[in-house]
Amino acid sequence: METKIAKNYINGEWVDVAGKESQKVLNPSTGEIIGTVNLSTAAETDKAIAAAKAAFPEWRATPPVTRARYMFKLKTLLEERFNDLVKICSMEAGKTLEESRGEVRRGIEVVEVMSGIASLMKGQAMEDIAAGLDCMAYRQPIGVFAAVCPFNFPVMVPLWFLPPAIATGNTFVLKPSETVPFSMQLTYEILDELNLPPGVVNLVNGGKDAVNAILQSPDVNGVSFVGSTPVAKYIYSESAKYGKRVQSLGGAKNFMLVMPDANLAGTANALIGSCFGCAGQRCLAGSNVVAVGDVHDKLRDVLLEKAKALKVGIATDPSSQMGALISKKAYDRVNHYIELGIKEGAKLILDGRGIKVPGGENGFFIGPTIFDDVTPDMTIAKEEIFGPVFNILRAEDFEQAMSWIDKCPFANAGTIFTASGKWAREFGYRLPATMCGINIGIAAPMSFFSFGGARNSFFGDLKAHGSESIDFYTDRKVISARWF
């Protein structure tokens, strides 16, 4: 099988990575090597930043309506290459075709929203704020923005940031995850077809050296990040140290409350999708399912039945409903948490370890796994597992469940399943997490709303996409004018 080598895209040109350190890119479903990524040095990253800086004056002066036309064209090209993107995404991230379709679609939706940039970027104006004095507030682009992206959404997350950054008139440097570089290779091939001015969009493959070069560069004005909480904290503090804007999205431990009056069939479907979609490797994955009152036994039985029926398989097999974990390291980590759960006294009612997937003997598979009788003090109830494992906890009532949520250091998302408007309202009102679902498994805001959590799940002020991204990528220039 022919393997690929990821390249950088700098100043409108594809260039080989000169860095000597390299990493193999694996297909998580089979363990096969599909390519290599060489890790860019700080000097190579600086070249991308310099190209972005040089491109900024011309790009910011490009009329928003012209930039919007680039967005329309980008949408068309992404639609044309949709299936190619889906295939690469599934191949390198191990997620099912259906999941990859979902993520590419969600990415395109950001481009669609940014096609309206001429309206989104409008400022404010008022005559006669004092006698003969007028005032205007323009939204101005700032300069060079960078994004450091995770492995779990190789297409969607970069598209949370790139379209709003350039639509608002900034220039951009992307560092994709070195585990999944090829989705962005194709995306940048598409961007290359757009004929943007050189330097408006740049791609740097790399690891820590590239990230640090971005964080420490005086020429980068803002950074977006999605990943684990420790790294999110690091990105946030380093960016702040160097005077940058930053939006840094971290990990999660999402609670799903099931009230006794919940519609069990709908709830179970939503929970299964939430907990096992993308093999649990997403920051919106359901993790702690809290059965409130007497719903526990019925809920456990229906979840068990549905989880057992899921077909775990090779990502590119259209019949697969759940794919593999991203790497051996992830596989070992999830196994470690399962062992820890058993050791701490949780009851393993569905064990996904040792699952046999035809054709995926060397893949990183763990099947759906469910723990029952989990208590909030157990490690598996407190830490992010990032795998296809969920816990069932029993709460006496709503208040007890909310007290557990209140103590959780993460606050990304939470959901309540209930037929009661009162409980739903109360939950939405009191949930510390800022993405809240009511009878929804994955409370993922779409591209015209903002995405991001609170507490240890988010560091920064302005969140991803939606109107907050326009705020993030622009500054307000207030001009007070009097003419004599």
Partner 1 sequence: MGLASFSAILEFAIGEEKKAADFISSIIGNSNTPNSETLKKIQSESEKNKKNLQMILQENVTEMVMEPCEEIDEKAFALDPSILKNEKDLPGALERQAAFFKSASKSINLKEVKRSFDKMSERKISLIGEIKK
The Cα 309–Cα 303 span in angstroms is: 10
SS3 142: coil
Least distance CB 153 / partner 1 (angstroms): 12
Contact range with partner 1 by CB under 8 A, out of 99-107, 195-203, 252-260, 379-387: 99-107
Question: By three-state DSSP, how is residue 272 classified?
Answer: helix
By beta-carbon proximity to partner 1, the closer residue of 156 and 338 is 156
| Stretch 406-445 residues interacting with partner 1 (CB under 8 A) | 441-442, 444
Phi, psi at residue 122, to the nearest 5°?
A: -60, 145
Kindly give the pairing relationship between strand 201-203 and strand 171-175: parallel
HSE, side-chain direction, 13 A CA sphere, residue 13: 7
Size of the site for partner 1 (CB under 8 A): 26
Pick between residue 87 and residue 105 the one whose CB is nearest to partner 1: 105
CA-based nearest residue to 154, from 221, 200, 86, 220: 86
Query: Nearest approach, Cβ of 13 to partner 1 (angstroms)?
Result: 31
CB of 447 to partner 1, least distance (A): 12
Asked whether position 82 contacts partner 1 by CB under 8 A, the answer is: yes
Element containing residue 255 per DSSP (H, E) = strand 254-258
Query: Is the CB of 243 or the CB of 318 nearer to partner 1?
Result: 318
Q: Name the residue nearer to partner 1 (CB basis): 47 or 282.
A: 282
Q: Which of 243, 318, 354, 421 binds partner 1 (CB under 8 A)?
A: 318
**Nearer Cβ to partner 1, position 182 or 276?**
276
Phi and psi angles of residue 47, each rounded to the nearest 5 degrees, phi first: -65, -40
Q: How far is the CB of 75 from partner 1 (least distance, A)?
A: 12
In the complex with partner 1, the residue whose CB is nearer, 96 or 418, is 96
Judged by CB under 8 A, which of 306, 328, 353, 382 binds partner 1? Answer: 306
Which one of 61, 127, 131, 319 is in contact with partner 1 (CB under 8 A)?
319
> Does residue 22 contact residue 36 with C-beta atoms inside 8 Å?
yes
* Binders in 244-273 for partner 1, by CB under 8 A: 269-270, 272-273
Q: Does 88 bind partner 1 (CB under 8 A)?
A: no
DSSP assignment string, 38-66: EPPPHHHHHHHHHHHHHHHHHHHTS-HHH
Q: Residue 88 contacts by C-beta under 8 Å, 6 or more apart in sequence?
A: 182, 183, 186
What is the Cα–Cα distance from 433 to 354, expressed in whole angstroms? 35
440-479 binders of partner 1 (CB under 8 A):
441-442, 444
The widest CA-to-CA distance across the chain, in whole angstroms, is 82
Task: Say how far apart CA 131 and CA 129 lie, in whole Å.
Answer: 7
274-282, 290-298, 334-342, 375-383 -> range binding partner 1 (CB under 8 A) = 274-282
- Token pair belonging to 213: 């070069």
Choosing from 87, 105, 298, 333, the residue that interacts with partner 1 (CB under 8 A) is 105
Name beta bridge partners: 464. Answer: 451
242 binds partner 1 (CB under 8 A): no
The dihedral through the CA atoms of 49, 51, 56, 62 has a sign that is: negative
Cβ closer to partner 1: 292 or 307? 307
- Choose, by CB under 8 A, the member of 106, 139, 253, 465 that binds partner 1: 106
Task: Give least dist CB 445 to partner 1, A.
Answer: 13
Alpha helices in 310-353 (DSSP H): 328-343
Joined tokens for residue 428: 């939405």
Choices 29-37, 95-103, 347-355, 377-385; region in contact with partner 1 by CB under 8 A: 95-103
| Contact call for residues 190 and 77 (beta carbons, < 8 A) | yes
Q: Which residue in 302, 310, 348, 438 binds partner 1 (CB under 8 A)?
A: 310
Whole-angstrom Cα Rg for the chain: 23
Q: Mask of contacts with partner 1, 275-294, x by CB under 8 A?
A: -xx-----------------
Distance in angstroms (rounded) separating the CA atoms of residues 384 and 410 = 9
Which of the residues are catalytic?
Answer: 283
Residues binding partner 1 (CB under 8 A): 79, 82-83, 96-99, 101-102, 105-106, 269-270, 272-274, 276-277, 306, 310, 318-319, 321, 441-442, 444
